[in-house]
Structure 1
Amino acid sequence: MKTLYIAYYTTLRNVRDYRNLTSMLALPIVLMLILGSALAGTFQIESIDPVKVVLVNENEGELLQNLKEFLQQENIKEIVDTETVEDLDQGMVKIKNGEAFALVHVERDNEGKIHVYKRNESMFRGSVVQNVLDSFVQSANAEYAYLILGSVDGNITPYESIREETINPDGKRPKGLDYYAITMLIMTMMYGTTYGASSMAEEQFYRTEIRLKSAPLHSYEVFVGKVAGTILTLVFDASIIFIFTKYVYDVNWGDNILFIMFTCFTLAVLATSIGVASFMLIGDENKTQALLSILIPVLTFLGGGYIPFQSMSSAMKKLSLLSPNYLGLRIMLNTIYEGSQVQIRNYMAILWTASLFLFIISALRGRRGLA
């Protein structure tokens, strides 16, 4: 019961801090509208005409010749329109002038590497080019593996690189506002790390830690109560943003609303654990808040919060796996648009494991401090 009282008054105090609450809610609501409107074209499929691709023809290697033959197949030509140029500079001019969407370059004596340069104006066309080249690379690797193993051609079962399916994108892909509603909601959850740090530091600020130690309270009751209060505050913030965006911005949150809210709860738990652990390890609220104020925008950027994940470089995509924002984004997108259930389970397990680990560290550190 004492823990519930502490949780209740921690939540009440956070909610009554109208200045902080307003900034926590107003910032993501304004940002999602600005970003969703400004970058709406990135999420639209204007046409599914063949994507214009420039192929640089500056060597006569076997890889380039095989790639040429692959791109001239009838089923490939239906989705990719290839033009050959003599040098890289000429191809780059076409990219910059908008005459082509992508450039494919096979360097001289490059040990089988294919370089691809794409414009950032359309995720859909970019995925078309990437999937076509992935099909070629997979086919080439398979053929090379068969040769290394000494297999006979007659034993190889041919397969189609391109599979035809009817596309009905209605309701199955996010609009700009849908996407940024998710990323800004997750960003709000991550800014909740400041609540976690403040809840642990407030007793030092108000000089009440001595009374807490002498009061008929166990240290774990104080710890659990403050953590629970912080989590409830963040769930409250998430609920306000969810309701506002659903009924004012008409954001598509899918049909599984309960799981979306559970994901918000999961992110609230993680954010609280990060904030609490940061303060427990650093021991100074000002330094902790300064660290978190730098960390959260970085995690938001890596998680695709400002620019879509598909528009990032390959190196940035690898770094995104370190961001809880990215994991939360993939969980929500897969839930709303009926994506990979395996990815949902794996990423959810990672978030809960990280939270548990950070809470254990915080509890051990806090127990030593209250002793």
Structure 2
Amino acid sequence: MQIWHIAWREIKVNLRDMRTFVLMLAFPIVLMLILGMALTNAFTSGLSLGDMNLLYRDTADNPQLEASWDQFTAAIAKEGVTLTPAPVDTDGKAEVSADHYTAYAEISNNGIAFFGGVMHTLESNVLQGMLATFADRYNLAAAAMIDSPEKAEAILTDTYAGGDFVAETALGSEKKPGSIDYYAMAMTTMVAFYSCMSGSFLIRGERLRNTAIRLSAAPVSKGTIFAGKVIGCTAINFLCVAAVFLFSKFVFKADWGDHYAAVLLVLLTEVLLAVSIGLGCSYLFMEDGGRLVVLIFTQIASFLGGAYFPVDDATNFMKIARDISPMRWANQALTQIIYGHDWLAAMPAIGLNTAVAAAFLAITAILMRRREAL
């Protein structure tokens, strides 16, 4: 029970300092907005297409081909393609060269002849791909007509019981974060790791306020004080992280996926890790040394962990340094949880965070017991 009293006291002490709490919230939120808006294009993989105007001449007299072509043109017209039949006296190639149309196609019993324009290469390639798909599907139906005539029409109308005839599977998820999504995640993990600062001041603050002696003289064991202060510091910092998480989700509309429990558990263990590192450094490096080490370490870890921009192409020493950044563990786990829909990806990050936190807490407990006071 005493542990929870000490933890609650730690939370109340931090909540009284609302100025610091608000600054801790404002810093990641402002960075999230500035970097997310400034680097929007860096996270955009899509391309916008212009108008696609297809001029075509249909000279086929095959009823089956005619019916298939009508179905195809109706389908691509719904996708924004403008189809124009070419009058008899019109030179389709010249019309495309004059940039009156995106491309020109001639449909006959022998196949499709396609002529793309050079002024709109991307749109022309898209139209060529559409026509190639139509030709492949028609050839498949023609082959099916030989052995199974009843299936040919079903193939052309996509009602064949077998479903898609070519199944495409991507190794990577097509869903990727936009700039706001990325920086919402990166800034949240960064502010979680900034709990190192609170951890480094957890016991040192008692010494500076001259309350360490009174705590040592109190009828409470060092272990109880230690556990209570760690729990309280972790709780108040996690509250700050949760506030950033909620703000980014509901105000900036950042995508945090569907597995909120896994996301929050990764963030909670990262906060525990950061508090443990900060507390450990305050004992390993006396006076202001621990605070300086923590300050330098958090900045390096933030940079290598991708807080300011993705660090995916690092090699040699930089790759090793990047991979041991706790923020890197958290960001990788969150990316797989949010965009890979794999909540089990949280387990390695949670395990690493907990193991490293336990090691630092054990070292700190040993060093605390060796000291006469806190």
For the superposition of Structure 1 and Structure 2, which TM-score range results when normalised by the shorter chain?
Answer: 0.5 to 0.7
CA–CA distance in 2 between the matches of 1:196 and 1:346?
A: 24
How far has the Cα of 1:338 moved from its partner?
A: 1.9
Is the contact made by 1:327 and 1:347 (CA closer than 8 Å) also made in structure 2?
yes
How far has the Cα of 1:213 moved from its partner?
A: 2.1
Once the two structures are superposed, the pairs formed by residues 1-371 of structure 1 within 5 Å of their partners are 1-47=1-47, 165=168, 172-284=175-287, 286-310=288-312, 312-313=314-315, 315-338=317-340, 344-370=346-372
Is the contact made by 2:270 and 2:353 (CA closer than 8 Å) also made in structure 1?
yes
Aligned length: 257
CA–CA distance in 1 between the matches of 2:256 and 2:228?
A: 31
| Cα distance change of structure 1 residues 265 and 168 upon mapping to structure 2, 3 Å threshold | same
CA–CA distance in 2 between the matches of 1:243 and 1:31?
A: 16
User: Once the two structures are superposed, what CA deviation does each residue of 1:60-102 show, in whole Å capped at 9, x if it has no partner?
Assistant: xxxxxxxxxxxxxxxxxxxxxxxxxxxxxxxxxxxxxxxxxxx
How far has the Cα of 1:21 moved from its partner?
A: 1.0
| Cα distance change of structure 1 residues 250 and 341 upon mapping to structure 2, 3 Å threshold | closer
| Cα distance change of structure 1 residues 367 and 349 upon mapping to structure 2, 3 Å threshold | same
User: Once the two structures are superposed, what CA deviation does each residue of 1:201-237 show, in whole Å capped at 9, x if it has no partner?
Assistant: 1221122222222211000011011101100011100
Is the contact made by 1:330 and 1:344 (CA closer than 8 Å) also made in structure 2?
no
Secondary structure at the aligned position of 1:199 is classed as coil
Is the contact made by 2:283 and 2:290 (CA closer than 8 Å) also made in structure 1?
no
TM-score, length basis structure 1: 0.64
How far has the Cα of 1:186 moved from its partner?
A: 0.9
Unpaired stretches in structure 2, ≥5 consecutive residues: 50-165
TM-score, length basis structure 2: 0.64
Is the contact made by 1:270 and 1:351 (CA closer than 8 Å) also made in structure 2?
yes
How far has the Cα of 1:198 moved from its partner?
A: 1.2
Is the contact made by 2:173 and 2:339 (CA closer than 8 Å) also made in structure 1?
no
CA–CA distance in 1 between the matches of 2:370 and 2:172?
A: 56
Unpaired stretches in structure 1, ≥5 consecutive residues: 50-162
| Cα distance change of structure 1 residues 358 and 301 upon mapping to structure 2, 3 Å threshold | same
- Report the residue type matching 2:268 in the other structure: F
CA–CA distance in 1 between the matches of 2:220 and 2:239?
A: 27
Secondary structure at the aligned position of 1:309 is classed as coil
How far has the Cα of 1:347 moved from its partner?
A: 3.0
| Cα distance change of structure 1 residues 318 and 305 upon mapping to structure 2, 3 Å threshold | same
Secondary structure at the aligned position of 2:220 is classed as coil
Overall identity of the aligned pairs, in %: 30
CA–CA distance in 2 between the matches of 1:10 and 1:28?
A: 23
| Cα distance change of structure 1 residues 164 and 310 upon mapping to structure 2, 3 Å threshold | farther
Structure 1 or 2, whichever has the larger Rg, is 2
How far has the Cα of 1:345 moved from its partner?
A: 2.6
| Cα distance change of structure 1 residues 213 and 176 upon mapping to structure 2, 3 Å threshold | same
- Report the residue type matching 1:246 in the other structure: K
| Cα distance change of structure 1 residues 322 and 164 upon mapping to structure 2, 3 Å threshold | farther
CA–CA distance in 1 between the matches of 2:255 and 2:174?
A: 8
How far has the Cα of 1:47 moved from its partner?
A: 4.2
User: Once the two structures are superposed, what CA deviation does each residue of 1:26-56 show, in whole Å capped at 9, x if it has no partner?
Assistant: 110011111111112222113499xxxxxxx
How far has the Cα of 1:239 moved from its partner?
A: 1.2
- Report the residue type matching 1:320 in the other structure: R
CA–CA distance in 2 between the matches of 1:283 and 1:244?
A: 37
| Cα distance change of structure 1 residues 305 and 353 upon mapping to structure 2, 3 Å threshold | same
Is the contact made by 2:11 and 2:235 (CA closer than 8 Å) also made in structure 1?
yes
Secondary structure at the aligned position of 1:310 is classed as coil
User: Once the two structures are superposed, what CA deviation does each residue of 1:315-355 show, in whole Å capped at 9, x if it has no partner?
Assistant: 53332111000000011111111266675433322221111
Is the contact made by 1:234 and 1:268 (CA closer than 8 Å) also made in structure 2?
yes
CA–CA distance in 2 between the matches of 1:44 and 1:165?
A: 23
How far has the Cα of 1:301 moved from its partner?
A: 0.6
Is the contact made by 2:173 and 2:340 (CA closer than 8 Å) also made in structure 1?
no
